[in-house]
Structure 1
Amino acid sequence: MALHRFTIGQKLEFVRGRLDPGATGGTYTVLRLLPNDGLDREYRVKNDRDGHERVCRESQLRGQQAAGSAA
């Protein structure tokens, strides 16, 4: 079983897909790592702006870049 890439408490960017256009994008905090047998791990996350919680797949999350970092 593959390990989760992100950790509890980590702040991430939620990327909306074409199948969930109504989902609120933005910064989310990881609340829980969810067990699953699939290749795309799942997380319970909370929106930092409005407090909405959701379950999302690892492929829908992106790590945030540090402020002032050069690309």
Structure 2
Amino acid sequence: MAQHKFKVGDIVVFVGHSVKRPSGPYEVVRLMPADSPDNTYRIKSRTEHHERVVREHEIAAEE
């Protein structure tokens, strides 16, 4: 089991292929338990009321 690359509070950008999503930055709000080889996170945009669940390969550090 690999350690999570990001931690709670990190600001990331969504690089996954989702049709409807805000383009702005997201904050990592929770590290999810390992259920697959790819780590999973809950992220939240300031422009949305809900959180999204994404896999580590779908997000990148904000530059």
Give TM class, smaller chain.
Answer: 0.7 to 0.9
Larger Cα Rg: Structure 1 or Structure 2?
A: 1
Relative contact order higher in (CA < 8 Å, ≥ 6 apart): 2
Q: Which secondary structure state, in structure 2, belongs to the residue aligned with residue 55 of structure 1? A: strand
- How many residue pairs match? The answer is 63
Q: Percent identity?
A: 38
Q: Which runs of 4+ in 1 moved over 4 A?
A: none
What CA RMSD, in Å, does the superposition of the two structures yield over aligned residues? 1.5
Give ranges in structure 1 of 5+ residues lacking alignment.
Answer: 66-71
Matches within 5 A, 1:58-69: 58-65=56-63
Give ranges in structure 2 of 5+ residues lacking alignment.
Answer: none
Matches within 5 A, 1:17-36: 17=17, 20-36=18-34
The two structures have a TM-score, normalised by structure 1, of 0.76
